[in-house]
Chain A
Amino acid sequence: MLTKKICLLGSFSVGKTSLVARFVQSVFSEEYLTTVGVKVDKKIVLSGDQEMMLMIWDLAGDDDFQRMNLNFLRGSAGIIYVADGTRPASVDAVLDLRDRVRTNLGDLPSVLALNKADLVDAWQIDEARLAQLQDGGWSARKTSAKDGSNVEETFSELASRMLSK
């Protein structure tokens, strides 16, 4: 079977682990348990009529306490960037991350999840900003690991982008 490695990248506490848990196990927990190091999950997806095994690398959040180790990205076929829609700084962090990934690995198929879309009151990314991001070349979606919206879509968008590359 076709196997593809993908990585989730983003600032801490944006919901990387939660998105994987929702996608792979269909579960969600309110509790925040920060990831140290790396966890790899697997899931088989169907893209068009192509079966594909995704090796999903959930990396520790990137911040001053813990820098992302670029070696982990080796062999990646695609990246899911994750930002927290209630924390605009986490969107800036994703832009920086993408630059770092580009300089080291070149252009990889990627998508952007603006997560925690269920937190409507605290939401900080207006439609204009979303449009800006899309204009800037991002395939961006509002997602929620909590209610599950757009989670499948984000992973399958990446899968089809990896296939058509």
Chain B
Amino acid sequence: MEVPNLTDVVQALDLAVFRRESVGVLRLLGNPPAWLEEVWPSVARSGLMDSVIEVSPYLDNFLIDADAHWKSGKSHRARSGPWVETAADGREYNLEASAMNVGGVSTLLVEDLGASFEQRRAMLQTARENMLAYEKLNAEVQRKEVLLHCVVHDMCSPLQNMMMALSMLDSEILAPEVRGMVQLGLQAGRRQESMIDNVLHMYAAEMRAHYGRDNGEWPGMDLRSATQRTIELNRPLFAQQNVTLAWDAESAGSGRRRLPGDEEHYERVLGNLLGNALRHSPTGSTVGIRFEEDAEWITIQVEDEGGGVPPHLQAQLFQKFQQGAIGRGKVGLGLFFCRIIIAKWGGEIGFSPRSGNGSCFWFKLPKLPTLPETKKPGPTVSKS
């Protein structure tokens, strides 16, 4: 059986094979492949690469990893990843190096990736172009949605004024035909309110909590389990960034509390504040949730150990489109959303700097008066 000459094999593969002589010195084994004469003519000529940093800074950097690999004696290939070298005539070559231990010899292979590289690049290119198109579309959709919210929001306030004026008129003594007209106006107003409600519901369910009407009968909230759920939801994100999430479950009280609001939105508000805190938290720091309670209020605090909020930005934090100090927000609607929810519940949301460093974002909810024991069990609250 005929056995191919290994040198021929290497040459057929277009590989340049080097042996490590000493730190930063490589000797070419066998004949130089054609590309080597284009890319590194002096190396091809002398068969020696002794100041690698001059020849190729990239290869020089890889030799640090290669040296570690050769020392380890491991048998697999350690690859450099592809890089580009430009020949004297301006042509670019995509190369990749690998370090190997072959029969006790510290060996470095350098190959011209040629066409296979082009394929890989084309694939990545398509993937990225698709990402760009997708991002663009998303941004457009988001822009439209925000615009819609603002438009609808702006439409809401004059309507509310009109409704108030009409209601006041309606409570006066009026000639019957005038009352008829006033009620027609009220009816149309209510229809418009519900249309606005529908639009908002369709585009972003969360905004409805602000604009939608409620009958004032809150189901009450189990703060401890709602908080627990939010924490569980966020824990993987925190773990990923190595930020500790700490809270004292006891301080949340237990069971269903008589509070305005509903757990679904409570969880979204808390989730927003946690996400915000995480974005501003350095690795290894802690974000804490604390509850405080007095006769009238329950206050929920989210404290981080990040850089804090610069004074000039504090006043605008809860406005539309604000992004905090170093601007790590997504779209700046998160805190605005929290504010409108909490305001709707008759609560308050705010920010206080912490002594030392970090921020404390808090919101407080008014405790509702306890119902007489005789009432049927279950959380119904009359509007006060």
Chain A residues in contact with chain B, CB under 8 A?
5, 12-13, 32-34, 36-40, 55, 57, 61, 63, 65-66, 69, 71-72, 74-75, 87-89, 91-92, 95, 99, 103, 129, 132-133, 135-137
Instruction: Answer whether residue B164 sits at the interface, using C-beta atoms and an 8 A cutoff.
Output: no
- A99 and B283: CB pair below 8 A? yes
Select from chain A the residue with minimum beta-carbon distance to B312: A135
Q: How far is the CB of A107 from chain B (nearest CB, A)?
A: 13
Q: Mark B116-144, 1 if CB is under 8 A from A, else 0.
A: 01001100110111011001000100000
Please tell me if the beta carbons of B135 and A33 are within 8 angstroms of each other in the complex: no
**Known contacts A5-B57, A12-B128; A74/B83 CB under 8 A:** no
Interface of A is mostly: mixed
| Interchain CB contact under 8 A, B61 and A37 | no
- Option from A5, A32, A57, A88 in Cβ contact (under 8 Å) with B129: A32
Does B64 belong to the interface (CB within 8 Å)?
yes
**A38→B58 contact, CB < 8 A:** yes
Q: Is B253 in contact with chain A by the CB < 8 A criterion?
A: no
User: Can you list 26 residue pairs at the A/B interface with Cβ under 8 Å?
Assistant: A5-B57, A12-B128, A13-B132, A32-B129, A34-B124, A36-B120, A36-B121, A37-B94, A37-B96, A38-B82, A39-B83, A39-B86, A40-B58, A55-B57, A63-B128, A63-B131, A66-B124, A71-B61, A71-B65, A74-B64, A95-B328, A129-B327, A132-B324, A132-B325, A133-B327, A135-B325
CA distance A91 to B135 in the complex (A): 14
Contact of B286 with A by CB under 8 A: no
B327 touches A65 (CB 8 A): no
* Chain A proximity of B90: nearest CB distance (Å): 10
Q: Which of B280-324 contact A (CB under 8 A)?
A: 282-283, 307, 310, 313, 323-324
A87-B135 contact, Cβ under 8 Å, with A37-B82, A39-B83, A132-B323: yes
Q: Which residue of A lies closest to B120 (CB)?
A: A36
A71-B61, A75-B61 known; A36+B124 contact, CB < 8 A:
yes
Report the separation of the CA atoms of residues A34 and B283 in the bound assembly, to the nearest whole angstrom.
31
* Chain B residue contacts of A63, Cβ below 8 A: 128, 131
**In the bound complex, what is the Cα–Cα distance between A89 and B233 (angstroms)?**
23
Given A65-B127, A89-B135, does the pair A129, B323 have CB atoms closer than 8 Å? yes
A34 adjacent to B61 (CB under 8 Å)? no
Interface string of B59-99 (1 = CB under 8 A from A): 00100110000000000000001111010000010101000
Q: Judge whether A132 and B327 touch: CB under 8 Å.
A: yes
Kindly list chain B residues whose C-beta atoms are within 8 Å of the C-beta of A38.
58, 81-84
Nearest-neighbor residue (CB-CB) of A125 within chain B? B327
A61 engages B128 (CB within 8 Å):
yes
Residues on the B chain within 8 Å of A72, using CB:
61
Count residues on chain B whose CB falls below 8 Å from chain A CBs: 37
Asked if A37 contacts B83 (CB within 8 A), the reply is yes
Whether B117 contacts A36 by the Cβ 8 Å rule is yes
Tell me whether B326 is interfacial, beta carbon within 8 Å: yes
Closest residue of chain B to A69 (Cβ to Cβ) is B81
The answer to whether A34 and B125 have CB atoms under 8 Å apart is yes
A132 contacts B313, CB within 8 Å?
A: yes
A71 to B81, CA, bound (A): 11
Q: Most chain-A Cβ atoms within 10 A of its Cβ — which of B61, B121, B310?
A: B61
Distance in Å: Cβ of A131 to nearest Cβ of chain B: 9
- Do A103 and B121 contact each other (CB < 8 Å), given the known contacts A71-B61, A74-B64, A91-B327? no
Q: Does the CB pair A92–B83 fall under 8 Å? A: no
**Contact across chains for A34 and B128 when beta carbons are under 8 A apart:** yes
Q: Considering the chains assembled together, what is the distance between the CA atoms of A33 and B328 in angstroms? A: 29
Cα–Cα distance between A25 and B131 once the two chains are bound (Å):
29
The complex places the Cα of A37 from the Cα of B117 at a distance, in Å, of 10
In the complex, how many angstroms separate the beta carbon of B250 from the nearest chain A beta carbon? 34
B-side contacts of A129, CB under 8 Å: 323, 327
Residues of A within 8 A of B139 (CB): 87-88
Q: What residues of chain B lie closer than 8 Å to A92, measured between beta carbons?
A: 328
Report which of B94, B96, B128, B324 forms a contact with A13, defined as CB distance below 8 A.
B128
Distance between Cα atoms of A87 and B133 in the complex (Å): 12
Taking CB as reference atom, which chain B residue is nearest A90? B135
Complex interface: chain A residues within 8 A of B81 (CB): 37-38, 69
Nearest first, the 9 closest Cβ-Cβ pairs linking A and B are: A37-B82, A136-B326, A39-B84, A38-B83, A132-B327, A34-B125, A37-B83, A36-B121, A40-B57
Contact indicator B326/A65 (Cβ below 8 Å): no
Q: B329 — nearest CB in chain A belongs to which residue?
A: A92
A88 CB, nearest partner CB in chain B, Å: 8
A95's nearest neighbour on chain B, judged by CB, is: B328
Tell which of A36, A55, A132 touches B326, judged by Cβ atoms closer than 8 Å: A132
A95 x B326 contact (CB < 8 A)? yes
Identify 16 new A-B residue pairs, CB closer than 8 A, beyond the known A74-B61, A87-B139.
Answer: A13-B132, A34-B125, A36-B117, A37-B82, A37-B83, A37-B94, A38-B84, A40-B83, A57-B57, A61-B128, A63-B128, A88-B139, A91-B327, A132-B323, A133-B327, A135-B326
Q: Within the complex, what minimum Cβ distance (angstroms) separates B40 from chain A?
A: 14
Bound CA span A38–B307, Å: 34
A88 to B132, CA, bound (A): 12
